[in-house]
Amino acid sequence: MEDRLAMLEARLRELEDEREIRELLARYGYYADAPLDEEYFALFTDDCVMDVSAGRGDDPYEVVRWEGLAAMREFLSVRTAAHDNGFYGRSMHVQGNNLAIRVTGDDAVANGYSFIFHQDGPTLKLLSASINEWAFRREVGRWRIQMRKRRMPGAPDAAEVLRAAE
């Protein structure tokens, strides 16, 4: 009976972890769109990494990287990656599509797709579609984002990001 109870508790913890990670990804989009910058930053670890395809310029697959929470604050404050003043309240960050989550103790990895839509007058436009690998760490009983690797479809390492889900 003790073994069975321990097994059920482990399965319940795994389901709760997955639910919390899905909620975290939902909050990521809501806070980015609202704008709720402080709430957005609270989703990340202090040593967070944002590693993304630039999506524009001569090489849209060029990787742009920010390391640490201070760099993330700079990323958002200068409104890089097309986060200008007209972006807020008219965009929809959608994460967690085709999401696969693996939890190992206080670390987790999730892979999936994401999209950004933008309302431009009467037209809703797809701004971005991407393949993502997310790394999470549980800190003080809460899951936080430690790393996001985002690649545009067709990027040289896009398949590698998808294979990381295995």
User: Which tens digits make up the pLDDT trace of 16-37?
Assistant: 999 999 999 999 999 988 888 8
What is the mean predicted confidence (pLDDT) over 86-94? 80
pTM of the model: 0.89
Domains of the chain: 2-163 (3.10.450.50)
CB neighbour class for 104 (10 Å; exposed up to 12, middle 13-18, buried from 19)? exposed
Name the residue with higher pLDDT: 14 or 79. 14
Task: Work out the percent of the chain whose per-residue pLDDT is above 70.
Answer: 91
Beta strands per DSSP E along 76-122 = 91-104, 107-120
Which pLDDT score is estimated for 86? Answer: 63
